[in-house]
Amino acid sequence: MPDRVNKAEITCTVNGETLSLKAYPMARLLDVLRQELRLTGTKEGCGEGECGACSVWIDGEIANSCLVPVLQVAGSEIKTIEGIATGEQLHAVQEAFISCGGAQCGICTPGMVMAAVNLLERTPHPSETEIRMGLAGNLCRCTGYMKIFEAVVRACQATGVKA
């Protein structure tokens, strides 16, 4: 068994709650979220930054949590899929995924929702191209993408999507 390094004490904010945890510094944020914090909404797909299933926000920016060593989020604010709804009230993007059939097996869905909500926060009136670009880092093997795309379009319809 190789030598073990010391665990680091890390303070960060997750879905609005500030917490301290002990973890090996190179542990992937993805594993800490799922195993230590039991926030299992964040999924692992490829584990190499290609598929976006593990997307979370770090200080407001979308990131692949499989590529982030947990030490790097010390002092940061993290949002996961569990922090998108307000209590029982789903986010408009989540509602639209349901009504448009934007989810099938569900593995890509949390990452897709995180990417879509992040896009709408940065660009409240995205063009269709901006929606496609905003979701380009998230792969889905079930839906053929169109239902996901339509869900995001529907979520912005209140304010109108540019051509």
Residue with tokens 């004490």: 9
Quote the least distance from Cβ 154 to other proteins, whole Å: 21
Among 12, 14, 28, 42, binds other proteins (CB under 8 A): 28
Number of residues that bind other proteins (CB under 8 A): 37
Which residues between 83 and 112 bind other proteins (CB under 8 A)?
Answer: none
**What is the spatial distance between Cα 73 and Cα 98, in angstroms, rounded to a whole number?**
32
Contacts of 39 (CB under 8 A, 6+ apart): 14, 15, 33, 80, 82
Q: What's the CA angle centered on 102, arms 98 and 108, to 5 degrees?
A: 115
**What is the spatial distance between Cα 5 and Cα 73, in angstroms, rounded to a whole number?**
19
**Residue with Cβ nearer other proteins (60 or 101):** 60
**Residue with Cβ nearer other proteins (15 or 72):** 72
Which residues between 110 and 129 bind other proteins (CB under 8 A)?
Answer: 115, 118
Q: Which amino acid is at 106?
A: G
Among 11, 35, 40, 61, binds other proteins (CB under 8 A): 61
Residue 104: how many other CB atoms lie within 10 Å: 15
Give me the residues that bind other proteins (CB under 8 A), please.
Answer: 2-5, 8, 24-28, 31, 47-50, 52, 55, 61-64, 66-69, 71-72, 74-75, 115, 118, 133-134, 136-139
